[in-house]
Homo-oligomer: A and B are copies of this chain.
Amino acid sequence: MAEKILKWSLGGKKENKWREINGLDLFISEHEVEHIKKHPRAKLIRLGIGDTTEPIPDIITTAMVGRARALSTIRGYKGYGAEQGSMELRMAIAETIYRDMDIKGYEVFVSDGAQCDISRLQMLFGSNATIAVQDPSFPAYIDTGVIIGQAGRFKEETGKYSQIAYMACQPENNFFPDLSITGKTDIIFFCSPNNPTGHAATRQQLEKLVEFAKENGSIIVYDSAYAAYITDASPRSIYEIPGSKEVAIEISSFSKFAGFTGVRLGWTVVPEELRYSNGFPVIKDFNRVVCTCFNGASIIAQAGGLACLSVDGYQALRNVIKYYMDNAGILIEAFESLGMKVYGGKNAPYIWVHFPGSNSWNVFAEILEKTHILTVPGKGFGPGGEEYIRVSAFGKRESIVEASRRLKKLYKR
């Protein structure tokens, strides 16, 4: 038993700093706890883990309240829903989020969140699939790959897993990998707007990516969880790119779009056009995984999701998103006023701040110690995150303003 599991088990081989303690979120929260012990009276400002802070608009919670209350009535009680979600919600997602992209309701699979769908997709792909990830990237792609057995050995020297292809995304390449030096893999995880860099891929970049996937017979898993934060003309979905349906799955979420981080609701789109090399539709296999490994998102959360996509619900959410993006503007101003190079924050609620020549763990520690502000060390997102910290724009306005004040004080020349 042990031997088999230990191929990735914590009980097995040595792993790097933050993986050993079960992921980046735990690393942050453990430092938070430590810091509070050490400075019990300090007013801690949390700009680390990207968690939403603003209330959900009434029109949306009212729908959830109604659904929950109805469960106590004979006519309103409902048991199992379809594993794939209610067709009404699937249609609403197709028609609202994918308007003009001709996505069908039955191609949309409602879930309890994008992260959970990443692991279901990994069950679909299996341990023999090869994967590529942006570097830096959201840790779940690699972490689920480690668990499913795709990653190979972790190398301390490089901070990379031997069997994962890391696609460097840096300011020098406008946060888009040099595909001429990117190896061929079965799967390409691609997050845009990107967590952590905040960069939204341009149309031209995505056209290149789709072309690259076609040439290599790769499947793109496109993570658009932050698409609602895009303020310019960058594509909000991979399906804005012609031909993408033959190569791309899209995962997304109500978490950041609607403040549903605790409510739990997301979706995955698998277009019918996406086929294996033998012509068999991938959607049939994903449907099987969903029906076997999942039992549907809570029908209460689904009622809320439907309200999010109503005209009034959607407008109300735009205002919440604008609030967070105004926060981002305040943080950008603070860092830029200090002469620092800042990325992101225009199409995403994350600011990616460069500290040239630094060790990101030390920058994280210094900011926490001296300003009582929690951020995330860039290296937690992969070796490509070294010299950077990620600052989240989720938070109360007064905290954001206060954080800016403290940061200006700390780094003033």
**A residues lining the B interface (CB < 8 Å):** 1-7, 9-11, 22-23, 25-26, 49, 51-58, 60-61, 64-65, 68-69, 71-74, 76-81, 112-113, 115-116, 118-120, 123-129, 140, 143-144, 147-149, 186, 217-219, 259, 261-264, 276-281, 284-285, 287-289, 291-301, 304
Contact = CB atoms under 8 A, between A and B. Distances in A.
Given A128-B4, A295-B113, A288 B10 contact: yes
A6 B276 contact: yes
Nearest to A292: B143
A286 to B, nearest CB: 10
B80 A4 contact: no
A77 B56 contact: yes
Contacts of A284: 10-11
Contact of A298 (B23, B115, B128, B301): B301
Contacts of A149: 126-127
B77 A277 contact: no
Contacts of A58: 72
A246 to B, nearest CB: 13
Q: Which of A23, A76, A112, A129 has the most CB of B within 10 A?
A: A112
B80 A1 contact: no
A304 B69 CA distance: 11
Contact of A68 (B61, B123, B124, B125): B61
A61 B69 contact: yes
Nearest to A77: B55
B1 A295 contact: no
A79 B262 contact: yes
B126 A276 contact: no
A300 B262 CA distance: 8
Contacts of A280: 2, 6, 9-11
A112 B288 contact: no
Nearest to A284: B10
A78 B58 CA distance: 15
Given A64-B300, A276-B11, A54 B80 contact: no
- Interchain residue pairs A-B with the least CB separation, the first 10: A11-B280, A119-B293, A2-B276, A51-B79, A64-B68, A79-B261, A262-B299, A4-B128, A2-B277, A61-B72
Nearest to A12: B280
Given A56-B77, A61-B69, 5 more contacts: A6-B280, A11-B278, A79-B262, A119-B292, A264-B297
A2 B147 CA distance: 21
A281 B129 CA distance: 29
A71 B59 CA distance: 11
A68 B65 contact: yes
A2 B217 CA distance: 10
A4 to B, nearest CB: 4
A72 B49 contact: no
Contact of A116 (B60, B74, B143, B293): B293
Contacts of A143: 292
Contacts of A147: 123-124, 288-289, 292-293
